[in-house]
């Protein structure tokens, strides 16, 4: 499958904070020109991780240099542990040492870890510098680089500290995903499937039929990424600060986060997208149990996730996840719990998710007990 | 002078981030009721410093309790050194430990140090909680609590890290200033005078005539604080993110910051408002030297600042400030320097300040050399 020349543009409409996401193969080779078109005079700090730097940093630096953009890299260790106060301070001080001003730019070049950390640093240095995202993992292209959530983890939990801060431009190079591990690709793909399941049954149908093409790359992958970005952008445009509808994006995530918590975020055991995959199956199964959807949809989702190579139940985690109480502890702690009521994303069927407030904790407990303890 | 029952309200107009500043004697005794009126169900974290806590915390806690508001204090050391990464993390983690949610509130109860730090913490916990300011120093009532700048210092400089984050309500209790030291009161008063000098000659006249009444307290003090808040709010409403006009608020501050830098922010040597007082005299003198204003205005400002008990020249700092080069090093580093051009706030006379871009550094250097080295 040769690379495609197609470039899709998704506009994120947020009044004076609106921006474009460009999606296409080898966009990295146009980074300088594209950045110059939105920020003609900006110097750049490139925040990246060791893995991405080893494979792709030289190409980015040469491209920026050819466009006449002054840029210096800040290279961090790869992995979730980098989203910490310590690394935030390191990045902020490196940016200040470079004497960058508000009109200059912080460029996040990596997966969601780098995007979240660099975005919070960009938001905080001088109370807000320009920010550019060049997401390099599938998850970051379809999810974390869209919508302006940035942040770090605190000892008490993930993503508890940060800012809503929008980039000026996002460049999603779909060919750069060829160097991503198959496991990380699948994990990111769980979020792509999520958009179909939330509110776009046609997209879900298309995804079912095109997994091979999306893996290969080219136009089908571009379409999958662009449709995902468009779906998320539409929800974010209506609810930038997560007052309501944005919660739909958490389909599968309440269960998923509990699994990540119980397995202590050890990525050899479970990565985020795998937790989301299992969580989406559980959300469908729980919805069916509550007579909100048909069990056939649960089967259909399970089968597709299996075909993709994602986990669909907790059988691989039985060394860690043993009781319903274990799960409930994390679910009740989850930041989407408001004033003690459980809020869940449930579904009336594929493409028909909805926000259910006041889900009885006892029902969730009973559901998990059946699965885990019988 | 008995306390007054007058409550002045200044509305800060910032679209969906608009809020009221209430100004009056003993407003602390209405804190619970006023907070409840904007946030009926919020729990509160009260961020304060040891000095303010010792004198006033019990009264605030009792008042909130009487209003049925759950509140816990976070007490920090007093002083500029508290605006650090370390204390930011302490405050953030304490708030998270209290299990507060976005709809709950962080209450800053102290001077500008506490307001800046607590505001940045409120902006960052869960990407933004409700924020309430109860400023207790004159400087924080007329300046730092208006306009949404929050932040901490970094090893490379003051206020380099932070967020623009607006409170939901500001309660300026003008009677609480009675426990502030005379020196801190005068320092805050330098910022009050600044508003007259920027664009309100009538207010400046009134201030000249009413220094005694303002010191005594009651309606004149309330008027001085309210007029200052109104002046800053008007500028901030037109330029929330400091793209232009907001720079006017830096009248006297470029010189002032240089003096603070050279004296290493040792508050026994110089506090911010004292640096601003000297800086305002220098800004008037430099403007006169550049034939922009009359030397008579410089004399008038100098005389009034002297009457108030503020320093008006660098004679008290001669152990630290010795050469023009020393000053220029700080001035060129100042964050309001854009791409190498010096931007200064100059004046055409009292109440007629303006933003001067492209001020020749050589002229500033010559001006300072005359004062310091002749
Ligand atoms: N801000 C948001 O809205 C949002 C949404 C979802 C997830 N997130 C966050 O995103 C993070 C997860 O993102 P992620 O899955 O991208 O993790 P990641 O950034 O850790 O990247 C995964 C791994 O892939 C490597 N990698 C990335 N691009 C590569 C490439 N092109 N070639 C080879 N290796 C590459 C990375 O070095 C890393 O080892 C989490 O911290 C999560 O909280 C944020
Ligand atoms: N955010 C902004 O827009 C803005 C604007 C100007 C200044 N600032 C910041 O504000 C800070 C200075 O503020 P500040 O002058 O209030 O300093 P501060 O907070 O250190 O307070 C000064 C001293 O007065 C004490 N104090 C405060 N209220 C008191 C009271 N009622 N009774 C007795 N003691 C009291 C404090 O404990 C402290 O020792 C600086 O960090 C500066 O950068 C911010
Ligand atoms: Zn996710
Ligand atoms: Zn000031």
For the four alpha carbons of B35, B36, B37 and B40, in that order, the dihedral sign comes to positive
For range B53-77, the mean pLDDT: 98
| CA pair distance A230, B316, nearest whole angstrom | 63
d(CA B36, CA B57): 18
- Note the maximum CA span of chain A: 65
**Averaged pLDDT for residues B341-364:** 92
CB B23 within 8 A of CB B229: yes
The 8-class DSSP code of residue A3 comes to: P
Pick the residue of B93, B104, B127 with the most A CBs within 10 A to test the interface with A by mutation.
Answer: B127
The total of other beta-carbon atoms located within 10 Å of residue A267's CB is: 15
Per-residue pLDDT at A157: 84
For residue B136, what are its two tokens?
């207790």
Angle between helix axes A201-216 and A295-308 (nearest 10 degrees) is: 10
Residue pair B127/A162 in contact (Cβ under 8 Å)? The answer is yes
Compute, in angstroms, the gap from residue B104 CA to the centroid of ligand 3.
26
pLDDT band at B16 (very low <50, low <70, confident <90, very high): confident
Give the model's pLDDT for residue A339.
47
Mean pLDDT of A125-131: 97
- At residue B339, the pLDDT reads 47
Sequence-ordered list of residues with C-beta below 8 angstroms from that of A15, at least 6 positions apart, any chain: none
pLDDT, residue A334, reads 53
Instruction: Residue B295: count other Cβ atoms within 10 Å of its Cβ.
Output: 12
Catalytic residue check, A246: yes
Residues of A in contact with B124 (CB under 8 A): 151, 161-163
Q: From A140, A148, A306, select the one nearest A228 (Cα to Cα).
A: A140
Query: What distance in angstroms lies between residue B267's CA and the mean position of ligand 4's atoms?
Result: 14
Cβ proximity of A70 and A98 under 8 Å: no
A1 has a pLDDT exceeding 70: no
* Among candidate residues B184, B146, B186, B190, the one with its CA nearest the CA of residue B165: B146
Q: How confident is the model at residue A243 (pLDDT cuts 50, 70, 90)?
A: confident
Q: Which ipTM score applies to this complex?
A: 0.92
* pLDDT average, residue stretch A219-236: 97
User: For A76-95, how does the pLDDT look when each residue is reduced to its tens digit (9 = 90+)?
Assistant: 999 999 999 999 999 999 99
Cα B101–chain centre separation: 29
Could you give the CA distance from residue A9 to residue A22 in angstroms, rounded to a whole number? 5
| Least confident interval from A2-16, A134-148, B85-99 | A2-16
Please compute the mean of the pLDDT values over residues A218-235 and round it to a whole number.
97
The pLDDT of residue A16 is 87
Helix ranges (DSSP H) in chain A: 31-38, 50-52, 58-66, 85-97, 112-124, 138-139, 182-199, 201-216, 219-238, 253-262, 272-289, 295-308, 324-333, 361-373
The distance of Cα A39 from the centroid of its chain, to the nearest Å, equals: 26
**A125 shares contact with chain B (CB less than 8 Å):** yes
Structure tokens that stand for A369 in this block: 């007990």
Answer whether A76's CB lies under 8 Å from A117's CB.
yes
pLDDT in tens, B283-323: 999 999 999 999 999 999 999 999 999 999 999 999 999 99
CB contacts < 8 A, A to B, total 70
Please report, to the nearest 10 degrees, the dihedral formed by the alpha carbons of residues A63, A68, A70, A74 taken in order.
-10
Q: What is the pLDDT of residue B280?
A: 98
Region B181-194 average pLDDT? 98
pLDDT at position A232: 96
**Residues constituting chain B:** 374
Tell me how far the alpha carbon of residue A177 is from its chain's centroid: 14
**CB contact burial A332-345 (16+ within 10 A = b; e otherwise):** eebebbeeeebbbb
pLDDT of residue A322: 94
- Confidence at B140, pLDDT banded by 50, 70, 90: very high
Average pLDDT of the segment spanning A107-122? 98
The Å distance, Cα B194 to ligand 4 centre, comes to 9
Mean pLDDT, residues B218-236 taken together? 97
B289's tokens: 């030297």
The pLDDT, as a whole number, for residue A325 is: 92
3-state SS, residue A356: strand
pLDDT of B93 strictly over 70: yes
CA–CA separation, A162 vs B122, rounded Å? 10
Task: Give me the pLDDT at residue B335, please.
Answer: 44
Average pLDDT over all residues of chain B: 95
Number of other residues whose CB lies within 10 A of the CB of residue B65: 12
- Could you report how far apart the first and last alpha carbons of chain A are, in Å? 47
DSSP letter assigned to residue B200: -
Q: Which residue has the higher pLDDT, B195 or A157?
A: B195
Distance from CA of A293 to the nearest CA of B (A): 32
> Checking phi first, is residue B67 left (phi over 0); if not, alpha (psi -120 to 50) or beta?
alpha
Given pLDDT bands bounded at 50, 70 and 90, which one contains residue B240? confident
Does pLDDT of B338 surpass 90?
A: no
What is the rounded CA–CA span in Å between residue A314 and residue B30? 54
Per residue in A251-294, pLDDT tens? 999 999 999 999 998 889 999 999 999 999 999 999 999 999 99
**β pairing state of A342-347 and A353-359:** antiparallel
A96 at the B interface (CB within 8 A)?
Answer: yes
Q: What domains lie within chain A, and their CATH numbers?
A: 7-179 (3.40.50.1970), 251-374 (1.20.1090.10)
> What integer pLDDT is reported at residue A23 of this predicted model?
98
Write out pLDDT tens, residues A305-351: 999 999 999 999 999 999 999 999 888 765 444 445 688 999 999 99
Dig out the tokens for B164 from the structure. 């623009």
> With contacts defined as CB-CB under 8 Å, which chain A residues touch B125?
160-161
């Amino acid at each position: 499958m040769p690379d495609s020349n197609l470039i899709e543009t998704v506009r994120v409409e947020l009044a004076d904070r609106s921006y474009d996401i460009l999606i296409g193969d080898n966009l990295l080779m146009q980074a300088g020109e594209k950045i110059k078109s939105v920020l003609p005079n900006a110097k750049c700090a490139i925040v990246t991780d060791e893995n991405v730097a080893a494979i792709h940093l030289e190409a980015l630096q040469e491209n920026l240099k050819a466009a006449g953009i002054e840029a210096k890299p800040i290279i961090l260790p790869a992995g979730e542990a980098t989203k910490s106060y310590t690394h935030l301070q390191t990045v902020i001080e490196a940016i200040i040492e470079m004497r960058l001003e508000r009109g200059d730019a912080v460029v996040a070049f990596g997966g969601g870890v780098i995007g979240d950390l660099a975005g919070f640093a960009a938001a905080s240095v001088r109370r807000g510098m320009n920010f550019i995202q060049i997401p390099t993992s599938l998850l970051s292209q379809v999810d974390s680089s869209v919508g302006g959530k940035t942040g770090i983890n605190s000892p008490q939990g993930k993503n508890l500290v940060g800012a809503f801060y929008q980039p000026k431009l996002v460049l999603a190079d779909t060919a750069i995903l060829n160097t991503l591990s198959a496991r990380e690709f699948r994990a990111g793909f769980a979020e792509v499937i999520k958009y179909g399941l939330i509110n776009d049954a046609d997209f879900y149908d298309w995804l079912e039929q095109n997994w091979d093409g999306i893996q290969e790359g080219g136009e089908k992958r571009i379409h999958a990424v662009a449709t995902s970005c468009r779906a998320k952008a539409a929800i974010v445009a209506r609810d930038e600060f997560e007052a309501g509808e944005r919660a739909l994006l958490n389909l599968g995530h309440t269960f998923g986060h509990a699994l990540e918590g119980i397995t202590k975020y050890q990525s050899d055991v479970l990565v985020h997208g795998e937790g989301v995959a299992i969580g989406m199956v559980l959300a469908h199964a729980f919805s069916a149990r509550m007579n909100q959807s048909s069990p056939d949809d649960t089967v259909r989702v399970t089968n597709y996730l299996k075909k993709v190579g994602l986990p669909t139940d907790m059988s691989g985690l039985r060394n860690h996840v043993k009781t319903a109480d274990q799960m409930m502890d994390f679910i009740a702690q989850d930041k989407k719990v408001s004033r003690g009521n459980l809020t869940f994303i449930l579904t009336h069927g594929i493409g028909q998710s909805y926000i259910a407030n006041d889900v009885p904790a006892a029902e969730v407990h009973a559901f998990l007990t059946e699965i885990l303890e019988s």
